[in-house]
């Protein structure tokens, strides 16, 4: 088609719209995010894959920010593409193989860390990494392996957050709780362990577990847990654990930020109280073991 014809049709009020250099949308309406993704992939060339927030949204992640701004794509290291303000083209020697489907996507572990390396918001990084593990899309070990294999630029905060997750932390609220405990002078708890009775019966998994005195700490929050049903089962969980002699403390996430000293005092009193009674025969295994 003559260049002049394309130019005329892409003028203001015309039937077409220029999306990227050499990429034309055959409609004059505002481009959707899918339009921008498709244009970015065509512009980036064969083998390009989506990563970052666009890939996370398609993977089904719910708690990360919705994608906006340039579409982040990975391209072969020997290819050069200027983003034209609409595409973030990242050249890489570790171009992942796209999974089958409508969109060529980077694996979840790669996509979430590509987002985290560029984020300066620790809470968003915590949320993204915790959700990726909670969804079962990748393990803490896979995330750590991906982080070590990639660029070290922007890796400090994700690495710090992964230290929390490797320790068993599975939510932003639990990460805040871990920070509170570091200053409390209490024994370090296990995070999200598997509890069993002496007969081998599996008990509810508490957020934190002080094994020396069989004390469970529950961070009661719909906002910060991936599965809303966890909150709906709070009463049942509490009753079941206490029926086996476990002391249970409940804390809302807001208190971890606004009433830290009160939370610490409550945990210390509960720990001292739990020490006074015979420890129930409950066995704990670390998360993922």
pLDDT tens per residue, range 41-94: 999 999 999 999 999 999 999 999 999 999 999 999 999 888 778 999 999 999
Are residue 179 and residue 261 in the same domain, yes or no? yes
Same domain, 68 and 183: no
Tell me the pTM: 0.72
Weakest mean pLDDT among 84-88, 116-120, 164-168, 276-280: 164-168
- Decide which of 148, 166, 184 is a domain's last residue: 166
Are residues 138 and 179 in contact, defined by beta-carbon separation less than 8 angstroms?
Answer: no
Taking only the tens place, the pLDDT of each residue in 91-130 is 999 999 887 789 999 999 999 999 999 999 999 999 999 9
pLDDT band of 166, cuts 50, 70, 90:
confident
Return the percentage of the chain with pLDDT > 70, whole number: 94
**Is residue 259 domain-resident?**
yes
Residues 257 and 276 in one domain: yes
Q: What CATH number is attached to the domain comprising 235? A: 3.40.960.10
Are 233 and 203 in contact, with CB atoms under 8 Å apart?
A: no
For residue 225, pLDDT over 70 is answered with no
Q: How many domains does the chain have?
A: 2
Q: Answer yes or no: is 197 within a domain.
A: yes
Structural domain span for residue 154: 32-166
Q: Report d(CA 28, CA 5) in Å as an integer.
A: 15
% of the chain surpassing 90 pLDDT: 62
- DSSP, collapsed to helix, strand or coil, labels residue 248 as strand
Query: Residue 15 falls within a domain, yes or no?
Result: no
CA distance 67 to 44: 18
Residue 9 forms part of a structural domain: no
Least confident of 181-190, 229-238, 265-274: 229-238
Residue 98 in domain: yes
- Cβ atoms < 10 Å from Cβ of 101: 8
**Do 248 and 157 belong to one domain?**
no
**Residue 117 three-state SS:** helix
The structure tokens 């193989």 sit at: 97
Mean per-residue pLDDT of the chain: 89
Using DSSP's 3-state secondary structure scheme, residue 141 falls into helix
Residue with the two structure tokens 């400090």: 156
- pLDDT beyond 90 at 287: no
Residue 289 is predicted with a pLDDT of 57
Top-confidence residue, 168 or 218: 218
Confidence of residue 170 (pLDDT cuts 50, 70, 90): confident
Same domain, 134 and 222: no
277 and 161 in one domain? no
Q: Are residues 160 and 179 in the same domain?
A: no
More confident: 256 or 280: 280
């Amino acid at each position: 088609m003559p260049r002049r014809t394309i130019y005329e049709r892409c003028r203001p009020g015309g039937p077409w719209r220029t999306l990227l250099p050499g990429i034309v949308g055959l409609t004059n309406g505002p481009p959707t995010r899918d339009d921008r993704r498709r244009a970015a992939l065509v512009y980036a060339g064969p083998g390009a894959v989506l990563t970052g927030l666009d890939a996370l949204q398609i993977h089904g992640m719910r708690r990360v920010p919705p994608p906006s701004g340039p579409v982040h794509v990975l391209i072969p290291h020997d290819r050069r593409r200027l983003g034209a303000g609409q595409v973030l083209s990242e050249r890489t020697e570790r171009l992942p193989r796209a999974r089958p489907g409508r969109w060529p996507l980077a694996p979840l572990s790669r996509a979430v860390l590509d987002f985290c390396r560029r984020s300066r918001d620790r809470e968003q990084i915590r949320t993204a990494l915790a959700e990726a593990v909670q969804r079962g899309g990748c393990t803490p070990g896979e995330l750590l392996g991906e982080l070590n294999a990639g660029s070290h630029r922007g890796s400090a905060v994700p690495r710090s957050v992964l230290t929390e997750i490797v320790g068993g932390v599975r939510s932003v609220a639990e990460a805040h709780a871990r920070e509170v405990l570091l200053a409390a002078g209490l024994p370090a708890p296990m995070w999200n362990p598997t509890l069993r009775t002496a007969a081998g019966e599996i008990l509810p998994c508490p957020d934190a577990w002080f094994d020396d005195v069989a004390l469970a700490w529950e961070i009661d929050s719909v906002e910060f847990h991936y599965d809303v049903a966890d909150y709906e089962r709070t009463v049942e969980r509490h009753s079941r654990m206490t029926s086996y002699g476990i002391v249970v403390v409940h804390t809302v996430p807001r208190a971890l930020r606004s009433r830290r000293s009160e939370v610490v005092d409550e945990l210390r009193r509960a720990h001292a109280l739990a020490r006074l009674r015979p420890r129930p025969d409950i066995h704990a295994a670390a998360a993922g073991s």
